Amino acid sequence: MVPLSHYLALGAVVFVIGAAGVLMRRNAIIILMSIELMLNAVNITLVGFSRQWGDLTGQVLAIFVITVAAAEAAVGLAILISLNRDRSVLNVDEVNLLKW
Amino acid sequence: MPLVIPDISLSIAAPEVGLAILICVVVVADLFTSMENKAGMGILSLAGVAILGLIVLFQWGGGVRTTFSGFYIADNFSSFVKMVVVVTTAFTILLSLQYAKMEKINYGEFYVMILFAVFGMLVMASGNDLISIYLGLETMSISSYVLVSFIRHDPLSREAGLKYFLMGAFTSGILLYGIALTYGLTGATSLTEIAKALSGLQGAAIIADPVMVFSLILFVAGFGFKLALVPFHMWLPDAYTGAPTSITAFMSVAVKMATLAAVIRVFFIAFPALAGKWNLLLWLLTVFTMVWGNVAAIAQTNLKRMLAYSSIAHAGYIMLGIVTTTKIVGGKVVFTPDGISAVLFYLVAYMVTNLGAFGMLIYLCREDFRGDNIEDWRGIGQDHPWAGMAFVVFFLSLGGFPPTAGFVGKLFLFGTAIQNEYYWLAVIGILASAVSIYYYFRVVMVMYMEPRGESQPAIEFSKAPSIFVALLVLVLATIYLGLFPGSIIAAAKSSVAGLL
Amino acid sequence: MELLFFYLFAAGIIGASLLVVTRSNVIHAALLLVLTFFFMSGVFVLAGAEFLAVVQVLLYAGGIMVLYLFSIMLMNAEVSVRLRQFHRQSFFTIVVSLILAAEIWWKVLGGGAAYPAFKGFSWTLGTTPGNVEALGSILYTKYLFPFEVASILLLAAMIGAIVLAKRTIDR
Amino acid sequence: MIAELIAAFLKIVLVLGTISLVVAYLTYLERKIIGHIQMRMGPMRVGWHGLLQPIADGLKLFLKEDIIPSKADKIVFVIAPIMVLVPAFVVYSVLPFDENFYITQVNVGLFLVLAVSSLGVFGIVMAGWASNSKYSLLGAFRSAAQMLSYEIFLGFSLIGPLMLAGSLNFQNIVKAQSDVWFVFYQPLAFIVFFIAALAETNRIPFDLPEAETELVAGFHTEYSGMKFAFFFLAEYANIMAVSTVCIAVFFGGWGGIDAIPLPGIVWYLLKMAVLIFVFIWIRATLPRYRYDQLMRVGWKFMFPLAILNIFVTGLVKFLFL
């Protein structure tokens, strides 16, 4: 039997790795993938909780999260492709026509 | 396993159902429209949105009703929010009809994406469960990412889209983690169930749990990102500057309104037991937002960007209303409905004003000339006094001067703050809005005091009647709300009455 | 036995995901991310969520990641390998996230004490309700509303992605 | 516990061994049948009527020099063939061969097959990209697009039979067909499934990813020796897996005609032989589709058809069952 705390710890660690990836990396695709990691960390947490409570809400929410992740990936990659069309920009820093 | 069909009442969820049908109609009609007649899609959407407004109006005063096994709630609050969203959408489409052609983005999908965003907002306004609020938020966000980067041939717009997208996706991850932790601690995602668990037998233990506090911080950060509260505001100036102007107007009002509705529901209905904690967090964010939004706006030379910073500042004023709703009476937290009704009224005032201000930008816009620098407005006051006057009215309202809507809104907000003994907040807010006068009036100075430069192109306002009508209505509404705010205030109050 | 597998999967997830965020070659990172998803689906199986585990493989690994690979190849990603990969403030980020991780770890691994809410339940409560039938019927009855909203969300994303990524729109 | 593990292990070894052997002889069969259709003999030299030809081929591939292009991404280049082969074999873990002969049964069986088989595309994309050759990359692109879209039709076409069976478990699906095979209830689904299966396994008329005339054999242009053999092995293993799914879902699995008492496994093998023959027959007969035609057929014809099938099935089930 895997205790709940293990699921939560795993979820937390992966979430932090993903968040660190978002903040650290300059490559937009890697940032996108780090966001996927964050969402998956949430899924691990949800599944752990779902098992603990003995109901399906967590799993259903996890399915919705996967749905949203798919939608986000599609739109995000489309934006990247349209950005990439006339100049090869992948690093976030080079996206600098607008000043922060 | 027996299937238990839940109570489904499509009449309660009529706005969403109607909007879904409208979306399908526009998508299909778009296939049969030639490229020259794409404005027809806008008119079709406008007609649909008008019907939607009627449906929402009919729902007003119908009491609190839930359907779809508690995922959907229809009450006066949701109707009020939906009404603001729908009116904003109508004006956005009206302003876009000509503008979209100028920016060469007059595809049917442009209006379809607006409608998708509106769908998400309506779901958020009626969300009675963290899951439906989250999905509504995502529908809205994903549609806005597309809308922001819609001018595909303009690198500015694409960059804005990328930045907005990356921050938005990051945010939704944060918010989602908060939802997951809350579910884990309370065993529920329904707002009322969460509140019940928090006030139940084990409620005290859950509230004391550090993970619950962490989850609350995640909620505040997630919503803070969406509302662009300082220090979570970095994406907003870029996204607002790069986006098509009518979309900027749309986002600055409708997205804010819908997110705020979700914030109000989540914090006041699900987490009243934690009010002491989140109120402190929001207090800090409010102060930062009001101060930094106004200070940063001073340095801007681009009018669109200046308005973007000013919208950050206005988000701060709005949050002030939310913070001041909680009052501590004898060590116990009590909610006074005045704060939220002030917020709702302020949002209506902000809607007419901000739509008007961005509408002026669209009014000046031409195919080869964006006209979004402050310099571009030189001498407009002398050459075109009426247009100049309209802009001045909007600036007066943004700055909070009588006799405009913004004045009444600010009065109401700061009045509540003082009434509920948030003196510091009120003082900071009034000082911050005093700063804002400086940059609003700089533009007015440029318009009236500085002559038009030799090299600048001649002023030529858009001839589209749709933009003219929209601006006229907005100017009149701004002044009307400043003189006779009674009915809207009454509506705001009655929409809050059933909420808390 | 179960615990052993969990540790195996967890080690895989953490290792692979660390590599994902540190690799300079985007394709390698994407492939490692696929590996991460596999391990995650293993964790889901252990938690009794077998439907979710299959969805994870089918949608994430088989769908989304192929989309990623496809776009990466379209975008000529090799160029970016030679560029600087990290922000200047990355050291700062690492420190902050390590602190954050330690904090979460400490709170979460505080065990039962950190979770007073669960005191009424035993650790072995998990009745592994993850079978397809239960999930299917709950999705179409209780969760009907979010389900419909999700379908609209997918439609929005589809139309949006096509509009943005289409090469030219004939006018 | 230990005995179970050993039994499971033996089963896995048996199934995988059989598949590897059968795949080898499938290549022989394919060459033979195509040869005879085209009025020639096919392989004749090695052994009686060329029966030892596959073994000679295998030896050749085994001993051949294994080339890795110097500009290739070494790790990915080496992993790619494995990534193609592993999903092709993993699928067999849940496929039913007989009432009592299967490696394991899970209640998401069919779903698992779809999930795992969707992973094959990774290997192909990896191979195409890692080879650092434009033909390979183009082949990989085509294959990814093709497999992704046809996977959707494949999945959708299976929903109709699933609604009738009411289960994702292969054993239950087969048992639900003890009276009438689903191919008679679901002819539309079967057509869509079969076409999608052809595309999914990259067979003619949908073998665009490896179109020799345009792409010099596509994603595996740069491969040689054992790595090349892996791709080959995976392709035939996939054909057999798809045929097994087809038999289980549409042709009543191991069930046969009651009048002729044969063991289930024999029925299964018979049906398999017929299906494989059809596969090869199609390859010998049809020309190749053009890329845009392939996509058009998929999205504008098969996809609506699959949806229609689901709709009609649901309606009929709701009204009459």
CA-based nearest residue to D160, from D300, D316, D268, D302 = D316
Q: How many CB pairs under 8 A join A and B?
A: 115
Compute the radius of gyration of chain A from its Cα atoms.
17
Q: Domain ranges in chain B?
A: 275-500
> What separation in angstroms does the CA of D38 have from each of D30, D32, D53, D287?
12, 10, 19, 14
- Select the highest-mean-pLDDT range: B241-250, B372-381, C135-144, D207-216: B241-250
Residue B410 and residue B346 in contact, taking contact as beta carbons nearer than 8 Å: yes
CA-based nearest residue to D147, from D120, D115, D110 = D120
End-to-end CA distance of chain C: 63
Q: pLDDT digits over B288-321, tens only?
A: 999 999 999 988 888 889 999 999 999 999 999 9
D184-188 long-range contacts, Cβ below 8 Å, gap at least 24?
A: D185/D161, D186/D160, D186/D161, D186/D250, D186/D309, D186/D313, D188/D160, D188/D305, D188/D308, D188/D309, D188/D312
> What separation in angstroms does the CA of B153 have from each of B235, B304, D271?
21, 19, 57
Residue D216 is predicted with a pLDDT of 63
Which residues 16-35 on chain A approach chain C with CB closer than 8 angstroms?
16-21, 23-27, 29-30, 32-34
**A68 lies in a domain?**
yes
Q: For D124, name the nearest residue in chain C, comparing CA atoms only.
A: C66
Among candidates D115, D141, D144 on the partner chain, residue whose Cβ is nearest the Cβ of C57: D115
Give, as one character, the DSSP assignment of residue D60. H
Range of the domain at D232: 60-320
Q: Where are the alpha helices (DSSP H) in C23-143?
A: 26-46, 50-55, 65-74, 78-81, 90-108, 132-140
Burial state string for B284-315 with b = 16 or more CB within 10 A and e = fewer than 16:
ebbbbbbbbbbebbeebebbbbbbbbbbbbbb
Summarize the confidence of residues D72-77 as an average pLDDT: 80
**D31 lies in a domain?**
no
For residue B366, the cross-strand partners are B369
A61/B159 Cβ within 8 A: no
| Residue owning tokens 């929209």 | B470
Summarize the confidence of residues A75-99 as an average pLDDT: 67
CA–CA distance, D26 with D28 (Å, rounded to integer) = 5
Alpha-carbon gap: D63 to the closest alpha carbon of chain C (Å): 30
- State which amino acid sits at residue D284: A
Residue B330 is predicted with a pLDDT of 72
CATH number of the domain within which A68 lies: 1.10.287.3510
Among candidates C134, C149, C163 on the partner chain, residue whose Cβ is nearest the Cβ of B132: C149
Residue D15 has pLDDT above 70, yes or no: yes
CA–CA distance, B37 with C108 (Å, rounded to integer) = 59
Compute the radius of gyration of chain D from its Cα atoms.
20
Q: DSSP 3-state assignment of B327? A: strand
C171/B209 Cβ within 8 A: no
Residue A39 has pLDDT above 60, yes or no: yes
CA-based nearest residue to C85, from B98, B291, D230, A29 = A29
The larger pLDDT score, comparing residue D43 to residue C108, is at D43
CA A59 to chain centre: 17
Residue A90 is predicted with a pLDDT of 53
Rounded to 5 degrees, what angle do the CA atoms B174, B177, B180 make? 155
- Select the highest-mean-pLDDT range: A73-77, B10-14, B105-109, D240-244: A73-77
Cis peptide before B231 (omega within 30 of 0): yes
Q: For B153, name the nearest residue in chain A, comparing CA atoms only.
A: A82
Among candidates D115, D116, D137 on the partner chain, residue whose Cβ is nearest the Cβ of C73: D137
Alpha-carbon gap: C154 to the closest alpha carbon of chain A (Å): 6
Range of the domain at A86: 4-94
For residue B72, the cross-strand partners are B67, B127
Collect all residues of chain A within an 8 Å Cβ-Cβ radius of residue B134.
Answer: 64, 68
Token pair belonging to D33: 């049948």
| D210 confidence band (pLDDT: 50, 70, 90) | low
Q: What percent of chain C has pLDDT over 90?
A: 19
- State which amino acid sits at residue B282: L
D111/C54 Cβ within 8 A: yes
For residue D253, the cross-strand partners are none
Alpha-carbon gap: C138 to the closest alpha carbon of chain B (Å): 8
What does the mean pLDDT of chain C come to?
A: 76
Residue B388 is predicted with a pLDDT of 87
CA–CA distance, B107 with B104 (Å, rounded to integer) = 8
D115/C54 Cβ within 8 A: yes
Collect all residues of chain B within an 8 Å Cβ-Cβ radius of residue A72.
Answer: 138, 142, 169, 172
D107/C132 Cβ within 8 A: yes
C80/A91 Cβ within 8 A: yes
> What separation in angstroms does the CA of D4 have from each of A1, B443, C105, C113, D91?
21, 82, 39, 40, 21
D33-41 long-range contacts, Cβ below 8 Å, gap at least 24?
A: D33/D277, D33/D280, D33/D281, D33/D284, D34/D280, D34/D283, D34/D284, D37/D281, D37/D284, D37/D285, D38/D284
Largest interatomic CA distance in chain A:
54
Summarize the confidence of residues D48-74 as an average pLDDT: 78
**A99 lies in a domain?**
no
Token pair belonging to C123: 């650790």
| C119 confidence band (pLDDT: 50, 70, 90) | very low
Which residues 236-255 on chain B approach chain A with CB closer than 8 angstroms?
237-238, 241-242
Give, as one character, the DSSP assignment of residue B7. P
Task: Report the phi/psi class of residue B330: left, alpha or beta, with left for phi > 0 and alpha for psi in -120 to 50.
Answer: left
Residues with Cβ within 8 Å of residue B212, at least 6 apart in sequence: B181, B182, B185, B206, B274
**D48 lies in a domain?**
no
CA–CA distance, D273 with D271 (Å, rounded to integer) = 5
Residue D214 is predicted with a pLDDT of 63
> What separation in angstroms does the CA of D26 have from each of B153, B196, D58?
54, 65, 13
The larger pLDDT score, comparing residue C57 to residue C132, is at C57
* Assembly ipTM: 0.91
For residue B326, the cross-strand partners are B335
- State which amino acid sits at residue B285: L
**A100 lies in a domain?**
no
Residue B8 and residue B75 in contact, taking contact as beta carbons nearer than 8 Å: no
CA–CA distance, B313 with B291 (Å, rounded to integer) = 7
DSSP output for B206-221: HHH-HHHHHHHHHHHH
Among candidates B27, B68, B214 on the partner chain, residue whose Cβ is nearest the Cβ of C144: B68
Q: Where are the alpha helices (DSSP H) in chain D?
A: 2-37, 53-63, 74-90, 109-117, 120-130, 134-165, 170-175, 182-185, 187-200, 212-215, 225-250, 264-285, 291-296, 303-320
Counted domains in chain D: 1
Compute the radius of gyration of chain C from its Cα atoms.
21
Among candidates B142, B155, B183 on the partner chain, residue whose Cβ is nearest the Cβ of A71: B142
Cα dihedral B336, B339, B345, B348 sign: negative
CA-based nearest residue to D223, from D75, D62, D66, D73 = D66
Residue A1 and residue A10 in contact, taking contact as beta carbons nearer than 8 Å: no
Summarize the confidence of residues C99-127 as an average pLDDT: 51
The larger pLDDT score, comparing residue D210 to residue D17, is at D17
Instruction: Name the least confident of B134-138, B316-320, C18-22, C165-169.
Output: C165-169
**D125 lies in a domain?**
yes
**D34 lies in a domain?**
no
CA–CA distance, B215 with C115 (Å, rounded to integer) = 13
Residue C75 and residue A90 in contact, taking contact as beta carbons nearer than 8 Å: yes
Collect all residues of chain C within an 8 Å Cβ-Cβ radius of residue B107.
Answer: 163, 169
CA-based nearest residue to C35, from C7, C6, C56 = C56
Low-confidence ranges of chain B (pLDDT < 70): 1-4
Counted domains in chain A: 1
Q: DSSP 3-state assignment of B329? A: strand
DSSP output for A40-95: HHHHHHHHHHHHHHTSSHHHHHHHHHHHHHHHHHHHHHHHHHHHHSSS---BGGG-
End-to-end CA distance of chain A: 49
Residue A99 has pLDDT above 60, yes or no: no
A30/C6 Cβ within 8 A: no
| Residue owning tokens 């280049």 | D77
Alpha-carbon gap: C71 to the closest alpha carbon of chain D (Å): 10
Q: Write phi, then psi, for C154 (nearest 5 degrees).
A: -65, -40
Residue A97 has pLDDT above 70, yes or no: no
